[in-house]
Structure 1
Amino acid sequence: MSTPQHPTPPSAAPQWQAGSGPSYPGYTSPIPVVRTHLGHAIASEWTKIRSVRSTIWTLGVFVVLVVGIGLAVAGLVSGSATEVDYGQESPLSFGFFGVLLGMMCVVTLGVLTTASEYGTGMIRTTTTACPSRGRVLAAKSIVFFAVAFTVTFVSVTLVGLMDVAMLDGARQPTGQEWLKATLGVSLYVALLGLLSLLVGSIIRHSAGAITLMIALVLAPLVIALFMVAQALEWLRSGLFSYSIPSQIGVFYSTSLGDSGPSGWDPLWIAVGVTAVAFAGAVALLHRRDV
C-alpha cells in the first residue's frame, strides 16, 4: 500500500523574482548583480575608520595637543611680555609646537589603518570583498587623507584665530601667512599620515612601521644636534634644513636651517615621496599574498 503524498501548499513555495544577474539552468538569482567601483570601497573604508576606537583616541589626542599647546605657548608669551611688543613674529607661529607633537598621532593612525588589518587577519576579508588590491589601497588613502586633513585644518585654524585674538599687540598675519599656516600645514600633516599608511602596508607590522616613521620624523634632527665636527657641517646643515620639523616650520616662517626648502617646497617634497611610496605599496600588494 503506497504512502499518500501530500502536496506542498502553494504559500510555502519560495517566491523567486527575476534578478538582473546571470541565469543558470533551473535557477535565477533573486539578488541583482551590481558592478562594484571605487565608491563602494571608499564607503567600506569610511565605515571602518569611523567605527574603530583607535581613530577616536588618536585624533582626540591630536586635537588636544595642537589646540592646548598652541594656546599655552601664546598665553605664556602674552603673560611674560612687559610691553605689548612681539617684534615681527607672526602670532600664527606659536601653533608650530602643538602641530610638531600632534603629528605623531596622525602618523600612528596612518600606520594602524593598514598594518592593523594584517595583524588581525581582517585584510583577507577585505580583499575577498574587493579583489582589486590597488582599489583597496586607493580607498584607504582617500578616506584617511580626507579625515586627517579635515581634523588638522579645523584644529590649526582654531588655534590661529585664538592666538591672534590673545596677542592683540602683535603684527597681524598676511593672507599668505594664513594660507600657509592653515591649508599648507594641514596638507603636509595629512600627507605625512598618508605616507605612514603606505609604510604600514609595505611593512605589515604596526610596531615596526610606527617605529620607522617616528625615526624618520625625529632622527635627522637628533643626529644633526650631535654633529659638532667642522668637516660635517654640510651634512649637519642639510639634516637640519630637510628634517620634518624644519619643513613644518617653513609654513610658520620658523625654519631651523638657513638653507633648504622655502615657501611651498616642503609640500611638493612630501607629494613626491608619498607618490613613490604609493607606487611601491601597490607593486608589493600585487606580488605578495595576504
Structure 2
Amino acid sequence: MTTPHPQQVNQQAYAPAPQVPAAAPAGNWQAGPGGLYTSPIPVTRTHLGHAISSEWTKIKSVRSTMWTLGVFLFLVIGIGLLVATQTNDRDYVNVPFSLPAFFGLVLGQICLITLGVLVVSSEYGTGMIRTTFTASPQRHRVLAAKVLIYFAVAYVTSAVAIGLVGLATSAMHSGPEATGTEWAGTVFKGALYVSLLGVLALAVGSMLRHSAGAITAMLGLVLVPAILPAFLMISQSTRKIGEKMMDYNAPNSLAKIFGLDTESGHGNPQLWLLIGLTVAALAGAFALLEKRDV
C-alpha cells in the first residue's frame, strides 16, 4: 500500500469547487465528478394551487370527513323529510318549502363544527403538522388552503342537503293551498351560515391546536347564547342583553333565515355578524400561526 505524496494531498484539499455557469437554471443542477448534472425533473415554483391540491387529498382521505358529512346529511335530509311528511299543504302558506331542513340543520351544524376543528387540529394531535410545514414553509398558504377547501366542501354539502329537502317538500305539498315563498335564497343563506360556523371552528382549532378544547369552545359559543337568555330575561337590568342574545344565537338566526321570523331582515344582520366574527377569528389564527414554533 503506497502513501500519497504530501503535495498531492494539498492539491486535493484545496481544489476549487466547480463553478455554476451563468446560464444554468437555479435549483436544477448538481455538481458531479465529471462536471454539472442537469436533473430531468423540472423545478417549478410552488403556489397556492399546490397547497389546495394537498389539502383536498387530505380531507377526502381521512375517515372523519366521511363520518361527519354522512351524519350531517342523514340529520338534515332525514329529519327534513320526516318533518315534511308530518305537514300538510296549508302549513306552507307564506313560508318556503325548504323550511323542514331547518330542523335538521339545528343538529347538523354540530357535525360541520366538529369537522372544521378536525381539519386543522388533527394534524397537531398526530404531529403531522411538522411534516406539512416542512413541505410548505409558507404557513399562511397552508391555512388559507385549509379554509378554502373546507368551506367549499361544507357549502356544497349543505346546499345539496337543503335543496333536496326543499325539492322533496315541494313535490309532496304542491297543492293550491301551498302558496309558499321563494326558497332558493334559504338554500344559499342557510348553507352559508352553517359553513361559516365551520370556518369559525377551523380558526378556533388553529388557535387552540387541541381538538377537544376547540370543539368544547365552539359548542359553548353555539349553545350558551341559546340557553342563557332564559335566565337573563328574568331581571329587568339584563333583559335587553338577553333579548339581543336571543336574536343573534345560532338556532334563532337559522330560524330567521328560513322564514320563521321575518321581522329582522330574513336573518341578514345575523349573517353579517357571523361573517365579522369569522374574519376576526381567521385574522387571529393567521397572526398566531406565524408567531409559534409549530
User: TM (normalized to structure 1)?
Assistant: 0.85
| Residues 1:70 and 2:80 aligned together | yes
Which consecutive aligned stretches of 4+ in structure 1 deviate over 6 angstroms post-superposition? none
Give the 3 Å change call, closer, same or farther, for CA 29–218 of structure 1 in structure 2.
farther
Distance 2:113 2:265 in 1: 22
Match of 1:213 in 2: 218
Equivalence map 1:192-207=2 (5 Å):
192-207=197-212
What is aligned with 2:272?
A: 268
Q: 1:263 to 1:208 in 2, by over 3 A?
A: closer
CA distance in 1, matches of 2:251, 2:206: 24
Do the aligned residues in 2 keep the contact of 1:21 with 1:29 (CA within 8 Å)? no
Instruction: State how far apart, in whole Å, the 2-side matches of 1:218 and 1:184 are.
Output: 21
Report if aligned partners of 1:203, 1:209 keep a CA contact under 8 Å in 2.
Answer: yes
Structure 1 position 166, deviation (Å): 1.7
Residue 189 of structure 2 is matched in structure 1 by 184
Q: Could you say what secondary structure the match of 2:174 adopts?
A: coil
C-alpha distance in structure 1 between counterparts of 2:174 and 2:264, whole Å: 32
Percent same amino acid at aligned positions? 48
- SS of the residue corresponding to residue 253 of structure 1 reads coil
Alignment of 1:36-115 (within 5 A): 36-78=46-88, 84-86=89-91, 87-115=93-121
1:203-240 Cα deviation digits (max 9, x unpaired): 00000000110111111111112332233221111110
Q: Residues 261, 115 of structure 1: CA spacing in aligned structure 2 closer, same or farther, 3 A cutoff?
A: farther
| 1:202 Cα deviation from its structure 2 partner | 0.3
User: 1:21 and 1:32, CA in 2 relative to 1: closer, same or farther beyond 3 A?
Assistant: farther
Q: How far apart are 1:121 and its partner, in Å?
A: 0.3
55-64 or 179-188, which moves further after superposition? 179-188
Task: Give the equivalent residue in structure 2 for 1:277.
Answer: 281
The CA distance in 2 between the partners of 1:115 and 1:143, in whole Å, is: 15
- Root-mean-square deviation (Å): 2.2
Please say if residues 242 and 260 of structure 1, whose CA atoms lie closer than 8 Å, have aligned partners that are also in contact: no
Q: 1:251 aligns with which of 254, 257, 261?
A: 257
When normalised by structure 2's length, the TM-score is: 0.84
1:119 corresponds to 2:125: yes
Deviates more, 1:107-116 or 1:225-234: 225-234
C-alpha separation in 2, matches of 1:94 and 1:261: 20
Q: Deviations over 1:138-181 (max 9, x none)?
A: 00000000000111111000001111222234533333xx2321
Displacement of 1:88 in angstroms is: 3.6
The answer on whether the counterparts of 2:116 and 2:198 sit within 8 Å (CA) in structure 1 is yes
Pick from 165, 174, 181 the counterpart of residue 181 of structure 2. 174
- Structure 1 CA distance for aligned equivalents of residues 96 and 279 of structure 2: 33
* 1:43-91 superposed Cα distances (whole Å, 9 cap, x missing partner): 000000000000000000000000011111121223xxxxx53244433
| Superposition deviation, residue 23 in structure 1 | 3.0
- The residue number in structure 1 matching 2:14 is none
Q: 2:158 aligns with which of 152, 174, 187?
A: 152
Q: How many residues end up aligned between the 2 structures?
A: 266
Say which one has the larger Rg: 2
Q: Secondary structure at the match of 1:28?
A: strand
